[in-house]
Structure 1
């Protein structure tokens, strides 16, 4: 019986490695004037919601709070609400993105350019940069128009 349990445990690990998923987070956050926070990365074109990968042993909410702080020097003073979980087929065929909406935020000075972030800034909805990423624009359209979220990022 004991060897069967060890074999079963090994099979579970193999299955997770072969069929596991990756999880990222993004955060839709607004300042007190209602402007939207977006970041521009060094490694991908366009403006995006702040976010990144969930580390081992980290909750998605903790990752969202960490990424906001690291990328934009923004802390969430209020709640984070899960706005949707999306399949991201462009990243290995097994990636998912959890989108959160931030309540009240505390914004510090804009961070200096670094190896990951070129810029982080707040934008009015009628003055968004032209090169907002397609996924970011889809989520904004869904939110602003009261549409149900699509299943893919």
Structure 2
């Protein structure tokens, strides 16, 4: 059951319909959807990189769908480059797998911790990403999605991981 905080991030109107149609396309194309997200942690500044999409509310980790013929790590590297202008300098660490039941009964997300990376230049806005930047862990934006806050607490705060996104 969604909390009031989570309800604020639920897609409604055209954006919600567009998201459901997009997901329907993948359901028809693939019987199960698989995605990746990257918790990019700058240990020196004790900050994390978050993005804000143009089509859904809230700040969240960069990531996206794993394409046919692509490994999770390859998908993650591609999504980090596309959404954050970030390149991995060491292998990412898979921290947890989650069932994303709010998207569909078929969606799963792998969460990776990235602490070795380069960002050659800040990510500029485009048609998909409105904004992307680092935030100190003690000053996360109030619009950070509940799932993002849960994953930070699990990976960096020692909370037990939930099986659900």
- Which range, TM-score by smaller chain? 0.7 to 0.9
Q: Structure 1: where are the runs of 5+ without partners?
A: 1-15
Q: Does 1:91 align with 2:103?
A: yes
- Pair 1:144–1:30, CA change in 2 (3 A): closer
Larger Rg: 1
Partner of 1:24: 35
Q: 1:18 and 1:110 mapped to 2: Cα distance? A: 34
Q: 2:72 and 2:29 mapped to 1: Cα distance? A: 22
Q: 1:126 and 1:18 mapped to 2: Cα distance? A: 41
Give the CA deviation at 1:126. 0.8
1:2-21 CA deviation, whole Å, 9 max, x = no partner?
A: xxxxxxxxxxxxxx979931
Secondary structure (helix, strand or coil) at the match of 1:40 reads strand
Partner of 1:10: none
1:38-94 CA deviation, whole Å, 9 max, x = no partner?
A: 000011100000001111100011101110000010011012010101000111211
- Pair 1:79–1:103, CA change in 2 (3 A): farther
- Bigger shift: 140-149 or 111-120? 140-149
Partner of 2:141: 129
Query: How do 1:134-145 and structure 2 match up within 5 A?
Result: 134-145=146-157
Aligned length: 138
Q: 2:115 and 2:100 mapped to 1: Cα distance? A: 25
Q: Does 1:45 align with 2:57?
A: yes
Give the CA deviation at 1:22. 0.3
The alignment yields a C-alpha RMSD, in angstroms, of 1.8
Q: 2:66 and 2:154 mapped to 1: Cα distance? A: 24
Partner of 1:8: none
* 8 Å CA contact retained: 1:28, 1:37: yes
Q: Structure 2: where are the runs of 5+ without partners?
A: 1-26
